Amino acid sequence: MYQKAWKRDWNHKTKECADNLHIDIRAETKANFEKALQIAFSFHTVRAYDIDKEKGLVLLWSIEPGSLKFPDSYNVTEFAWKWLQEEWDEKLENRVACDPEAPAYGSSDVWDEKGFRVYNERWGHVGNYSYAVCAIQPAFIWIGK
């Protein structure tokens, strides 16, 4: 019975039923951000979002209570990039690092660059968001000697 349900629901061409894609990408530059989101969006179309203080910008494939719906054919990647830049402005102004173990911005043998984290958690969810595609947070990227 399990096998029949799997075969019925799984669409090999669109891969719409993969529920356990796990990603955790930290990088810098807009080009890498676009590539990270391309991977994250490979199984679901983003239809809504929520901004969570702990998790960051949570992108959703279906509307959840309290989330906001994107208009049809909205450029989610550009929206997310703009949100990330605004978050960086606030974090640098307040000198708040996403990684509590990170040295203060620009103060060590390695140097820090503004970057991002695109991630999801167990079974492709983010926190209590069952319809999450991924979440986005600002992240310091360490550049070694």
pLDDT of residue 10: 44
Domain of residue 120 covers: 20-143
Q: What is the pLDDT of residue 88?
A: 86
Contact 65, 131 (CB under 8 A): no
Tell me the pTM: 0.77
Residue predicted with more confidence, 7 or 73: 73
- Residue 141 near residue 27 (C-beta atoms within 8 A): yes
Residue 40: burial class (beta carbons within 10 Å; 0-12, 13-18, 19+): buried
Look at residue 15 in the predicted model and tell me its pLDDT: 52
Q: Is residue 92 part of a domain?
A: yes
Q: How many domains does the chain have?
A: 1
Residue 57 within a domain: yes
pLDDT band with cut points at 50, 70 and 90 for residue 9: very low
Q: Is residue 14 part of a domain?
A: no
Residue 85: per-residue pLDDT: 93
Mean pLDDT value of segment 25-42: 94
pLDDT digits (tens, 9 = 90+) for 86-143: 988 777 655 544 455 555 555 556 677 889 999 999 888 899 999 999 999 998 887 7
